[in-house]
Amino acid sequence: MALIQDVVIEPFDSSLREKLQHKLDHKTKPQGSLGRLEEVAKQLGLIQGTQTPQIKKPVIYIFAGDHGVCDEGVSAYPQAVTAQMVQNFIAGGAAISVLAAQHQLEFFVVDAGVKGELPSDCLKSSAFISRKVVQGTANFALQKAMTSQQTQEAVDAGADLIRQSVSQGSNTVILGEMGIGNTTSASAIMHCITGIPIRECVGAGTGLSSEGVEQKTSVIARAVARHQDAIKTPFDILAALGGAEIAMMVGAYLAAAAARVVILVDGFIASAALAVAHRINPLVLEYCIFSHGSAELGHAGLLNYFKREPLLSLSLRLGEGSGAALAYPLVQSAALILSDMASFEEASVSGKEVSG
């Protein structure tokens, strides 16, 4: 478990914070008039350790995996949809595929633990990466979702993908996911990490009825009770209740922060994975920009737990990294404002003369 034990994430340079604020305050605008955009600009400068941040070769990873807990009737969609959506991502028909193309974002779909084999045309795509560690997880209502070895392999695979991107010049990443049943896994993880009551962690997911939400809540409660003695650490929680795609995201978060990469956090499931990474190393949070507030019930609780406010509120609950892709232009704009916008002195514009 070398990554979990040994990952080194650097704290921000506190002296740089004042310099970034001074630079923003002397741009050709009233102080603070660009609102949240200025906060994002400062965070980008702190992440990259510079007063002239740049977004370079942004990349999206969509991690896909199946969940054995679907056997308990916790999803409105059949498990086969996971593999079908992987094919749809590759074919360009999914929302995230469209958004990635719109914003010219490099885009990869990672088979973390999809059940069954995907068709050959999908496997041959340059946008497809196979890092399968399991043919879908076990039903965590009955046993641990993954073995310790499978969990570690998934965490390491996510970290490895980030390191490869960094070696190729990327400094910005969006992490998305696809997996029928993974809101059940995310809700269970959220409860165990945060201590928030299970009912406040469980939402409708792909569109469950109120009876379906009750079933989902009951399944999670029984599973948590079953595994209570075995979930003492974040890694234990991930193995007992997680998914391969969630575990890969945990590794990706930690490796990205260690490499000073800008991380755009998507919705509920992405935030649940971040909660695990945050428990392993709290400094990971400083490298994260929260893109949107999901309509999935548990996401507001996670954002409150992190003490973070998202950039957008569009009532999204799709996953796939879609909310992060929508927020990406705002992050790009923040970098440009800090790096390229003129100061009063540079533009020969008169500054403020009186207070008030």
Domain with 328 in it: 59-337
The torsion of the CA quartet 282, 46, 100, 124, rounded to 10 degrees, works out to -60
Give the Cα separation of 212 and 220 in Å (integer): 12
Whether 30 is covered by a domain: the verdict is no
Contact (Cβ atoms closer than 8 angstroms) between residue 122 and residue 74? no
DSSP per-residue codes, 159-212: HHHHHHHHHTT--EEEEEEE-TTHHHHHHHHHHHHH---GGGT---TTT--HHH
Whether 107 is covered by a domain: the verdict is yes
Q: In the prediction, which pLDDT does 283 show?
A: 97
Whether 146 is covered by a domain: the verdict is yes
Domain count, the chain: 1
Q: In the prediction, which pLDDT does 93 show?
A: 97
Give the Cα separation of 79 and 302 in Å (integer): 26
Give the Cα separation of 175 and 186 in Å (integer): 15
Length of the chain: 356
106, 320, 346, 353: which is the annotated catalytic residue?
A: 320
Whether 154 is covered by a domain: the verdict is yes
- The yes-or-no answer on residue 320 being catalytic is yes
Whether 3 is covered by a domain: the verdict is no
Q: Give the model confidence (pLDDT) of 290-304 as tens digits.
A: 999 999 999 999 999
Tell me, yes or no, if the pTM score tops 0.85. Answer: yes
Whether 77 is covered by a domain: the verdict is yes
Whether 167 is covered by a domain: the verdict is yes
SS3 assignment, position 276: helix
CATH of the domain at 300: 3.40.50.10210
Q: Give the model confidence (pLDDT) of 78-103 as tens digits.
A: 999 999 999 999 999 999 999 999 99
Q: In the prediction, which pLDDT does 3 show?
A: 53
Q: Give the model confidence (pLDDT) of 342-351 as tens digits.
A: 998 898 888 7
Q: Give the model confidence (pLDDT) of 187-240 as tens digits.
A: 999 999 999 999 999 999 989 999 999 999 999 999 999 999 999 999 999 999
Whether 170 is covered by a domain: the verdict is yes
